[in-house]
């Protein structure tokens, strides 16, 4: 009898143990990846720490500690980067991933949404492998950038984290309209809207179809027919209506603006960033500083165009004119204390060369290397509204990081040759491995 009771008790304990281990809430410990960095750069302070290990769980950084204190456990993946310098993945807040550098008018007229989508698949991968783990895409036809973002997010294709605008808003006949064909074709740009009611409707439509932000053309541009980069396009009242709707609906506004009047009005209207800023003057600088408006220079494209570009005649002179003044004006704005976020206008020059923009800031405009690097990390993340997710390497943020051969604060050009790329905890590039 006693033996039977003992057996029954043991049987109950065994059943209980099986029952507990089979509970649906029990989950295996998340797999860790240990990234062993020879050096780790804090982009907020410029401080360089030696022999650090970033512990990555899932898509985020769990902790950072001296490598000597972090031992690999069973099941850990270890990425040993030797003596490389690790820093956050870079951010470009002005890209056109669905476009390429051929601006022949016939090619422009024969471009389809399908062609843009194919471009996007190729260029998203190229941009990521160049070390840019987050981008804003500010203008694409047919909402192809919305689909591109969704394909990246679902893991269908490799690419950076993306915020996208869909078609840019512009006035009839302006920089964001289609101006190459004569009247009998009645071709109108997807984002064209005139008047307060029309621009409000267009903002709401873009958001309906998936836009994360609103891009507007506040002035004329270079790569468009019949408009003047210095001329303001949208009125102050129209831009205020755009910004009011966008902000109320949780979207920021980026304003393409070369001319000083358009820059001034756009900042007064409350846009979050001025793209290009070629003819910026003291009045516009003061307004932007007062309002906290970011300036997104796009300057490397000028060097590339001078060296390798082959623009059609209807665009060439406008590019020459802007190239003659933009760098001096942007330098003045930087020295005056306007907030800077890195943007490149990639597609005007080849994708993947994005880091050359930093070389221009430092070695042509005299920007401090740390300030330049912050324009592509903490500042860009703040403009995107992603400071809690990226822009620096800290616990709880995305495991977005790159590695280069030496400290970029000693030579910013080293960022043009990235050896390692991790985005969201997944390794996409590890040269030599």
Beta-bridge mates of residue 34: 55, 78
Residue 57: DSSP 8-state: E
Which one of 92, 147, 303, 345 is the catalytic residue?
A: 345
Q: At what angle do helices 144-153 and 113-129 cross, to 10 degrees?
A: 40
Rg (alpha carbons) of the chain, rounded to whole number: 25
* DSSP E strand stretches across 212-342: 213-217, 252-257, 273-276, 294-296
Which one of 202, 215, 339, 397 is the catalytic residue?
A: 215
In the numeric block, which tokens belong to residue 32?
């860790």
Rounded Cα–Cα distance for residues 219 and 215 (Å): 12
The separation between CA 88 and the C-alpha centre of its own chain, rounded to angstroms, equals 13
Rounded Cα–Cα distance for residues 327 and 279 (Å): 9
Known catalytic residue at 44: no
* DSSP E strand stretches across 195-314: 213-217, 252-257, 273-276, 294-296
In the numeric block, which tokens belong to residue 339?
């907030």
Phi-psi region of 400 (alpha: psi -120 to 50; beta: other; left: phi over 0): beta
Known catalytic residue at 92: no
Active site residues: 215, 345
């Amino acid at each position: 009898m006693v033996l039977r009771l003992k057996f029954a008790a043991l049987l109950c304990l065994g059943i209980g143990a099986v029952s507990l281990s089979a509970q649906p809430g029990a989950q295996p410990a998340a797999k860790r990846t240990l990234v062993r960095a020879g050096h780790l750069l804090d982009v907020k302070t410029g401080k360089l720490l030696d022999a650090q290990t970033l512990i990555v769980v899932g898509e985020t950084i769990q902790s950072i500690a001296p490598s000597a204190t972090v031992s690999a456990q069973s099941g850990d993946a270890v990425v040993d980067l030797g003596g490389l310098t690790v820093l956050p993945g870079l951010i470009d807040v002005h890209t056109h991933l669905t476009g390429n550098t051929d601006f022949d008018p016939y090619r422009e007229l024969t471009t389809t949404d399908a062609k843009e989508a194919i471009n996007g698949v190729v260029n998203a991968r190229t941009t990521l492998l160049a070390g840019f783990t987050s981008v804003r895409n500010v203008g694409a036809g047919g909402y192809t950038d919305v689909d591109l973002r969704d394909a990246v997010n679902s893991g269908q294709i490799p690419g950076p984290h993306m915020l996208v605008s869909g078609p840019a808003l512009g006035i009839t006949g302006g920089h964001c309209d289609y101006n190459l064909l004569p009247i009998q074709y009645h071709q109108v740009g997807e984002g064209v809207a005139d008047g307060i009611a029309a621009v409000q409707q267009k903002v709401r439509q873009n958001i309906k179809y998936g836009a994360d932000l609103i891009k507007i053309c506040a002035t004329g541009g270079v790569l468009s027919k019949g408009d003047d980069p210095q001329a303001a396009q949208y009125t102050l009242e129209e831009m205020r209506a755009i910004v009011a709707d966008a902000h109320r609906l949780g979207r920021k506004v980026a304003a393409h603006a070369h001319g000083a009047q358009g820059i001034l009005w756009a900042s007064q209207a409350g846009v979050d960033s001025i793209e290009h800023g070629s003819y910026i003057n003291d009045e516009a600088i003061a307004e932007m500083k007062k309002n906290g408006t970011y300036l997104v220079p796009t300057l490397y494209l000028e060097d590339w165009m001078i060296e390798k570009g082959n623009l059609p005649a209807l665009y060439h002179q406008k590019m020459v004119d802007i190239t003659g003044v933009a760098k001096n004006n942007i330098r003045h704005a930087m020295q005056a204390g306007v907030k800077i976020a890195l943007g490149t206008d990639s597609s005007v020059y080849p994708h993947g060369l994005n880091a050359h923009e930093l070389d221009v800031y430092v070695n042509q405009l005299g920007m401090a290397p740390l300030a330049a690097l912050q324009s592509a990390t903490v500042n860009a993340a703040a403009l995107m509204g992603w400071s809690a997710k990226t822009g620096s390497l800290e616990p709880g943020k995305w495991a977005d990081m790159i590695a280069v051969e030496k400290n970029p604060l000693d030579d910013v050009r080293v960022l043009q040759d990235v050896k390692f790329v991790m985005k969201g905890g997944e390794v996409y590039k590890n040269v030599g491995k």
